[in-house]
Amino acid sequence: MASPNKKRMMAAACKYAYSRFTLNYYLLYEELSEDFRRSEKQTEFLKHFFGLVSRFLKGEYPVEELDVLRSQVIRETEVISAYVDRFQIFEMMISGMALNFTGQPVPYVDEEQAVNQIMYYIVSAAEPAERNERIRSILTMLPVRLTKAKFFSLLSHALSIYEGTGKESLEALLDSLRTEAFLKVPENMADGHQKLQELLDAMNHGNFKSPTPEEFHALEDCLEQIKDILPDETSDCLAMMELINDFYVVCLTRREILMDQQEEELFHEVMAKVIEGLKQRENAGKDEGGEDAFRDFEGLLIRMEGLQERYYDQWAKYELTDPEQDMGVEKGSDEHRILWKIGRLLSTSSFMSLNPEDEIKETGILLSRRAVEEMCGQLSDELAESWKAMPKRMVRGIMARLLGCIPMFFQHTDELREFIRDSLASCTDSAEKAACVASIAEMMEEEDALV
C-alpha cells in the first residue's frame, strides 16, 4: 500500500505534469495549425504520440509505448546534436576565412587590449563556477595553434586529476570527449535527414585550404541552408521530449491519486479538441479546416489559468527530496522506482535516462597514474588517427572544443593570460584572428546585456 507521503508527492507531480502537458499540447496544436513543416522523423513521432493520447482519453495508460517513443526521441536528438556539432565546426572555419572575401582590409587586432578585455570578463565573474564557465567558453573560441604533442600533453595533464578516483568517472568523461571529437557517430545518421546529409557531405568535400571566391561562397550557401533547418529540428526534439515527459508522469501516477473531476474533465476536453481540430484540418486539406475547434479553445484556456502555477508550488516542496529517505520508501521497491522516474522526468534535464543501469556505478576500482595515462593515451591515439584526413582548420576547431570540455588545467590566472596571449600571437592568419576576437567580444557584450 502506498504511504501517505508517497501519495502526496505523486499527486503533486501528477497534477503539475497534467496541467503543463495540457497547455503545451494545445500550444503544439497552435503551432501545427500555422505550419506543417516537420522532418520525416518528427512527423512520425507526432503521429505515434497523438495515437497514445487518444488511447489515454479512452482510459489506457500506455507507459511501455511511451518509454519506447521517448527512447526514439532521445536517439533522434543525439543525431541532431551530432549534426549541430559538425556544422558548428564548419561555421567557425568559414567565419575565420570570411574577412578574406569581403574586398575590405582585415581589421587590425590589438592583441594586448584583447587579452586584457578577455581577462577582465573572466575575473569579473561573481562565482567560481561562473568564472570556470567563462574560461571554457573563451577556450572554445580561441584561434588555437597547438602542435599535436603539446595538445596531448595538456590533455594528459588535465586528466591526471583522475588518479586515485573511480575508473567509471574517467570512462564517462572520455566517452564524452570522443563524442565532442566526432570519434563516436550515431548509427544511421542519414535516416530521415537526406538534406542535412547532403549539406554535410558538401562541407566535408569543400576546399577549406585555399578556396576560390566561388568555392567559398558555395560553402557559405551550404551554411545558410543548414541554419534554416537545424534550429527547428533542435526545437522540435526538445518540445517533443517535454510533452512526452509530462505525459509519462501522468500515466505513471494517475491511477494512484485522487483528482478533482471537473479539472480532469477540463484537461480531457482540451486534449480531445486538439485531436478533433487536427482531424478536421487533415480532412479539409493543408490550408483550411479546424477553425471551429480552434475558436472553442479560448474559454477552456481561461478556466485553466493559474492551475499550472498552483500545482508547481505543490510539487516544488518535494522536488529536491530523496525518495528513500524523505518519503519513507524502501529502495528497490515499486514505489521507489516510480518516484525516481518522476524526479527525472520533471527535472530540468529533459533527456535523462530512465534506466537505473545507465547511472555511473563505481566498482571501487581506483585508478593508478599508469592506468590514467594508458586511458588518456588511447584517446590521443584515436584523435591522431582521425585527424590525418581532416583539414588543419577542422583539427584546430576540435582541439578548441576539447579544451573547453576537459578539467581546468590552469593553476592561476597568469597561466590563463599567457595561454590566451600565445593563442592570439601564434595565429598568423589575420582574418581568422580578427574574426575570433570579434566573436568573443560579441559574446561578452551579449552577456553584459543580459545582466
Q: Mean pLDDT lowest for which of 1-5, 61-65, 192-196?
A: 1-5
Single-letter code of the amino acid located at 347: S
Instruction: Find the mean pLDDT for residues 137-146.
Output: 95
Q: What is the DSSP letter of 309?
A: H
395 SS3 class:
helix
User: What is the arithmetic mean of pLDDT over 121-125?
Assistant: 93
pLDDT above 60: residue 188: yes
Question: Does this model's pTM top 0.75?
Answer: yes
pLDDT greater at residue 289 or residue 150: 150
- The answer to whether the beta carbons of residues 143 and 429 sit under 8 Å apart is yes
Confidence at residue 291, expressed as pLDDT on a 0 to 100 scale: 54
Q: Hey, what amino acid is at 185?
A: V
- Residue 33's nearest CA partner among 298, 299, 286 is 286
> What confidence score (pLDDT) does residue 266 get?
93
Q: What is the pLDDT of residues 53-82, one digit of tens each?
A: 999 999 999 999 999 999 999 999 999 999
120: cell is 577582465
Sign of CA dihedral 409, 414, 415, 419: positive
- Side chain identity, residue 418: E
User: Which one has a higher pLDDT value, 30 or 19?
Assistant: 19
Cα 279 to its chain centre, rounded Å, is 32
Nearest to 271 by CA among 50, 59, 73, 66: 50
Interval 30-47 mean pLDDT = 79
State pLDDT tens for residues 274-315.
888 877 776 665 555 445 555 678 888 889 999 999 999 988
Sequence-distant (6+) residues with CB within 8 A of 389 are: none
* pLDDT above 70 coverage of the chain, percent: 89
Could you please report the per-residue DSSP string of 418-442? HHHHHHHHT---HHHHHHHHHHHHH
Quick one: which of 89, 439, 11, 23 has its CA closest to 271? 23
Q: Assess whether pLDDT exceeds 80 at residue 448.
A: no
pLDDT confidence of residue 382: 97
CA distances from 233 to 7, 83, 211, 245 (A): 38, 10, 30, 18
Closest to 294 (Cα-Cα) out of 271, 280, 277: 277
CA distance readout (Å), 29 to 252, 376, 434: 24, 49, 45
- Decide: residue 349, CB within 10 A, 0-12 exposed, 13-18 middle, 19+ buried: exposed
Is pLDDT above 50 for 1? Answer: no
Q: What is the pLDDT of residue 326?
A: 44
Name the nearest CA neighbour of 315 among 351, 354, 342, 350: 342
Element (H, E) at 35: none
Query: Could you read off the pLDDT of 367-397 as tens digits, one per residue?
Result: 999 999 999 999 999 999 999 999 999 999 9
| Confidence grade of residue 179 (pLDDT, cut at 50, 70, 90) | very high
Helix ranges (H only) for 35-107 are 40-57, 63-98
Question: 218-228: string of b/e by CB count within 10 Å (b at 16+)?
Answer: ebeebbeebee
Q: ∠351-355-360 over CA atoms, to 5°?
A: 90
- Which of the four pLDDT bands, split at 50, 70 and 90, describes residue 327? very low
pLDDT digits over 412-431, tens only? 999 999 999 999 999 999 99
- Kindly report the average pLDDT of the chain as a whole number: 88
Locate 419 and state its grid cell: 595561454
How open is the CA angle 286-288-292, to the nearest 5 degrees?
Answer: 135
Closest CA relative to residue 336, chosen from 348, 325, 347: 325
Using the predicted structure, report yes or no on whether residue 50 has a pLDDT greater than 90.
yes
Residues forming a β-bridge with 166: 366
pLDDT at 129 over 80: yes
Beta bridge partners of 366: 166
- Are 249 and 349 in contact by the 8 Å Cβ rule? The answer is no
Per-residue pLDDT at 320 exceeds 70: no
3-state secondary structure at position 288: coil
User: pLDDT band for position 362 (50/70/90)?
Assistant: low
Measured CA to CA, the distance from residue 289 to residue 266 in angstroms comes to 23
**Is pLDDT at 325 greater than 50 in this prediction?**
no
Looking at residue 35, its pLDDT comes to: 57
The confidence score (pLDDT) of residue 323 equals: 47
- Sign of the alpha-carbon torsion through 235, 236, 241, 243: positive
Which of 13, 65, 21 is closest to 343 using CA atoms?
13
Residue 360 DSSP class: -
pLDDT of residue 359: 67
